Chain A
Amino acid sequence: MNNFIYAGDLVRLEAVDPEIFAVEDSLWAHDSEYWRLCASDPSRLFTSKQTREWIDKSLPTSYFFSIYALTENKLIGGVDLNGINWSARTSWIGIGIGDRNYWGRGYGREAMRLAIQFAFDELNLRRINLNVFEYNKRAFLAYQKLGFVEEGRYRSWLHRGGRRWDLIFMGLLRSDWNMNTLEK
Chain B
Amino acid sequence: MMNKSDLSLYDLGKQFFEGTSIRLTAYDPATNPKEEVAFTYDLDYSFWMRDNPARPMAEQELQKYYEKLIKEGEESNQGFVFTVRSKIDDQMLGFARLCNIEWNHAVGEIRLAIGAADNREGAELEALQMMLAYAFEELNLFRVSRVVSESNPISIRTTANSGMVLEVRQREAYFRCGKYWDVLRFGLVEKEYDELVKELQG
Residues of A within 8 A of B (CB): 40-42, 85-90, 126-127, 129, 149, 151-159, 164, 169, 171, 173
Contact = CB atoms under 8 A, between A and B. Distances in A.
B143 A127 contact: no
B180 A169 contact: no
B170 interface: yes
Contacts, number: 76
Contact of B52 (A88, A126, A152, A156): A88
B169 interface: yes
Contact of A169 (B172, B175, B185): B185
B197 interface: no
Given A88-B173, A127-B171, A171-B173, 7 more contacts: A40-B104, A85-B174, A152-B170, A156-B189, A157-B143, A159-B104, A169-B185
A35 B111 CA distance: 29
A151 B170 contact: yes
B56 to A, nearest CB: 15
B169 A87 contact: no
A159 B52 contact: no
29 contacts: A40-B105, A85-B52, A85-B175, A88-B174, A88-B175, A88-B180, A89-B175, A127-B172, A127-B173, A129-B170, A129-B173, A151-B169, A151-B171, A152-B166, A152-B168, A152-B170, A154-B107, A154-B143, A154-B168, A154-B187, A155-B167, A156-B142, A156-B189, A159-B105, A159-B106, A159-B142, A169-B170, A171-B171, A173-B172
Contacts of B104: 40-42, 159
Give me the 9 closest cross-chain CB pairs, A-B, nearest first: A152-B168, A87-B53, A88-B175, A85-B52, A169-B168, A159-B105, A87-B175, A152-B167, A42-B104
Contacts of A156: 142-143, 189
